[in-house]
Amino acid sequence: MYLRHSTVRRKGKIHTYWTLVRSVRHGSKVRQETVAHLGKLDAKGRKKASRLARHFLGPRADQAELFEDTRELTPAQIKVGKVRVERGRAFGGVWLAWTLWRALELDVFCERHLPKGKESVPWAQVASILVIARLCEPSSELHIAEDWYRRTALEDLLGVVAEKVHHKRLYQGLDRLLACKRELEVHIKDRFGGLFALDYDLLLYDVTSTYFEGEANANPKARRGYSRDGRGDCKQVTIGLIVTREGYPLGYEVFAGNRVDVTTVEEIVEKIERDYGKAGRVWVMDRGMASEENLEWLRAGGRRYLIGTPKSEMRKWAKEIEEAKGWKEVREGLEVKVCRGPDGDETFLLCRSADRERKERAMHDRFSERIREQLGSLGRRLKRARRPVDRNDVERQIGRILERNSRAARKFQVKVLVDPMCRSTLRLTWTERKDWKQWATLTEGTYILRSNVDDWSPEELWRTYTQLYQAEAAFRIQKSDLSIRPIWHHKPERVEAHILVCFLAFCMWKALEGWQERAGLGNSPRTVLEEIGRIQCVDVVLPVVDGPELRLRCVVEPDKAQAALLERLGLRLPKRLRVPESTECSGNFG
């Protein structure tokens, strides 16, 4: 990522405007993509950025004295030829993560709920190490203790020396943090609400899974079930996550790995109502949560919902789908039709997307072609067979072919016949069902939404349902950027704590995303973390003539792109860090 500038001459003055761009490879070509238009950060812009930082950090925005070296240095004669640089460490990434930790006031929360006892390192500090490491460089507790912590300047920010950060202390910190899960969720909800003026009238709920490495026999929730990661060979746990319409997390629950999605709805809804009260909110869920029992339970409690409908329900609306009347275009390529439920209490919204139609048709064609090729190959092998072939083996192979290509499996009727010319030889025949083709052509790109909200327009219903991608994005970030998978812990409480740390790291991720969006920096937290993460701190050792060496712990000056990011966020890097007394040289110089 780098800065690109353009100049404009206006009324005899030259104005320079900056754009933040990055290089992205598309196949064999590298193209430049604009990350943000920075414009001119003049005095007015700097005041705006400063106000933004104060909004997120409050009165603690300028508390650099917590770790910054502010000593006045007296003049001294230096041996220039012996000046050296030592102890280079990564600073920018952990400093930004530490800033986010304070912006969410997690330091205050942990000090209140994890009070210091006789331990040499406060549990609040251990918790910050775990979560900051998860955001900056996701890894195991052992890696944090033996490598990562020593390579970063987090020691200077927290005041915890590397020798005291070992894997046993980090494991114990996981256990302490887990005991505060419910209070943490409430704290995060209140803090997000204050920072981003969130409205909790709409909640999105979705489910994912994450798998274990190892047998995890000691964990009763480690079960084999439907794996969203394609790892059906591994045990897993299921995670249900609740987010707002903007994607800010509100809470989560961990279920057994074989728990069916539809059975989690009541537990999640009751959890939210128990923690935050029973308000007039709308629940948005995908079709995996839909069942008549769940919907009846939601209605009986006066709850409102917007939920997807399983494909199996689509035949009930075949006549309405086929009719040309009643369809209304709500945006280019998308048509909807409103239908009232049999009892008049619900609205069924039939949606037909041109993009989705092309995608589903291409999938059907691709899977159909695969089935034809594989059935043809199996048929040729049967013709060439010189020995009798077990009919059961052939039928099992057919079953596997259809299972691997399930999207088009019902299109084919396959029969295994005995060759009349040779009773020991089997022959394979198949036909393609015309009724399946007709139904697929009619319904490709079509899906149905179901809701008891009666005061929203069809477009509002559709747009609200599409916001479920926020929950999907949250899972994608936690899996790819925060490495919630695979799980290496086996003890039940450590598994729960690992997921909690990932949840808190995701909260910091969303805080940075919201901050940079308001600063005009787009919505790519990983780009900002990586760019600022390149800033290092070093120890500059100055040999003094007729005196002891002077050690200054300095932060390297950011380049133009890094400086522009920091200015936009309203953040100020410290110049020098406080050197611990144990490593500081004695003398009167500094």
Please give the distance of CA 60 from its chain centroid, rounded to a whole number.
28
Distance CA 148, CA 118 (A): 26
Q: What angle do CA 567, 92, 138 make, to 5 degrees?
A: 130
Distance CA 423, CA 469 (A): 56
Q: Is 296 helix (H, G, I), strand (E, B) or coil?
A: helix
Could you tell me the end-to-end alpha-carbon distance of the chain, in angstroms, rounded to an integer? 38
- The strand pair at 550-555 and 576-577 is best described as antiparallel
Distance CA 361, CA 354 (A): 11
Within a domain: 188: no
Q: Which of 59-68, 224-233, 408-417, 467-476 has the lowest mean pLDDT?
A: 59-68
Which whole number is the average pLDDT over 327-337? 92
Supply the pLDDT for residue 132: 97
Q: Which helix (H) or strand (E) holds 542?
A: strand 536-542
Length of the chain: 590
Q: How confident is the model at residue 116 (pLDDT cuts 50, 70, 90)?
A: confident
For residue 570, the one-letter residue type is: G
Which whole number is the average pLDDT over 445-471? 92
Residue 168 near residue 126, CB atoms below 8 Å? no
Per-residue pLDDT at 586 exceeds 50: no
Within a domain: 403: yes
What residue has token string 């339970």? 297
Within a domain: 223: no
Within a domain: 245: no
Distance CA 101, CA 66 (A): 15
Per-residue pLDDT at 284 exceeds 60: yes
Distance CA 516, CA 191 (A): 17
Supply the pLDDT for residue 78: 81
Per-residue pLDDT at 15 exceeds 70: no
Residue 391: which residues within 8 A CB-CB, separation 6 or more?
Answer: 416, 426
Per-residue pLDDT at 52 exceeds 70: yes
Within a domain: 325: yes
Supply the pLDDT for residue 587: 39
Residue 138 near residue 485, CB atoms below 8 Å? no
Q: Where in the sequence is the domain holding 319, given as residue range(s)?
A: 310-456
Kindly provide the residue ranges of all beta strands, DSSP E only, lying in 229-376, ordered along the sequence: 236-244, 249-256, 282-285, 304-308, 328-331, 334-340, 347-353
Which whole number is the average pLDDT over 325-336? 91
Supply the pLDDT for residue 563: 86
Distance CA 218, CA 326 (A): 57
Per-residue pLDDT at 281 exceeds 70: yes
Residue 151 near residue 139, CB atoms below 8 Å? no
Per-residue pLDDT at 23 exceeds 80: no
* Of the candidates 447, 463, 442, the residue with the CA atom closest to the CA atom of residue 350: 447
Residue 338 near residue 457, CB atoms below 8 Å? no
Phi and psi (nearest 5°) for 388?
-60, 140
Q: How confident is the model at residue 53 (pLDDT cuts 50, 70, 90)?
A: confident
CB half-sphere exposure, 432, CA atoms < 13 A? 12
Phi and psi (nearest 5°) for 186?
-65, -45
Within a domain: 586: no
What CA–CA distances, in Å, run from 182 to 77, 176, 255, 279? Answer: 58, 13, 16, 19
Within a domain: 339: yes
Supply the pLDDT for residue 393: 92
Within a domain: 320: yes
Of the chain, the percentage scoring pLDDT greater than 90 comes to 60
Mean pLDDT taken over the chain = 87
In this structure, how many other beta carbons lie within 10 angstroms of the beta carbon of residue 381? 13
Helix ranges (H only) for 385-524 are 391-404, 434-443, 458-466, 469-480, 492-518
Q: Cis before residue 486, ω within 30 degrees of 0?
A: yes
Q: Which two tokens stand for residue 34?
A: 């604009």
Residue 578 near residue 156, CB atoms below 8 Å? yes
- The predicted-structure confidence for 193-202, as pLDDT tens digits, reads as follows 999 998 888 9
What CA–CA distances, in Å, run from 288 to 244, 282, 343, 449? Answer: 19, 17, 23, 12
In this structure, how many other beta carbons lie within 10 angstroms of the beta carbon of residue 355? 11
The number of helix segments (H) and strand segments (E) in the chain equals 20, 18
Per-residue pLDDT at 63 exceeds 80: no
Supply the pLDDT for residue 279: 78
Which DSSP category does 349 fall into? E
- The predicted-structure confidence for 538-581, as pLDDT tens digits, reads as follows 988 888 888 788 888 899 999 887 888 888 888 888 888 887 76
Supply the pLDDT for residue 560: 81
Q: How confident is the model at residue 1 (pLDDT cuts 50, 70, 90)?
A: low
- The predicted-structure confidence for 205-237, as pLDDT tens digits, reads as follows 999 999 999 889 999 999 999 999 989 899 999
CB half-sphere exposure, 548, CA atoms < 13 A? 11
Q: Which helix (H) or strand (E) holds 525?
A: helix 525-533
How many domains, the chain? 1
Supply the pLDDT for residue 68: 72
For residue 371, the one-letter residue type is: I
Residue 379: which residues within 8 A CB-CB, separation 6 or more?
Answer: 427, 428
Q: How confident is the model at residue 58 (pLDDT cuts 50, 70, 90)?
A: confident
Distance CA 476, CA 208 (A): 10
Distance CA 21, CA 162 (A): 37
Which whole number is the average pLDDT over 322-328? 91
Supply the pLDDT for residue 549: 82
CB-neighbour burial class of residue 75 (10 A; exposed 0-12, middle 13-18, buried 19+): exposed
- The predicted-structure confidence for 348-381, as pLDDT tens digits, reads as follows 999 999 999 999 999 999 999 999 999 999 999 9
Supply the pLDDT for residue 343: 79
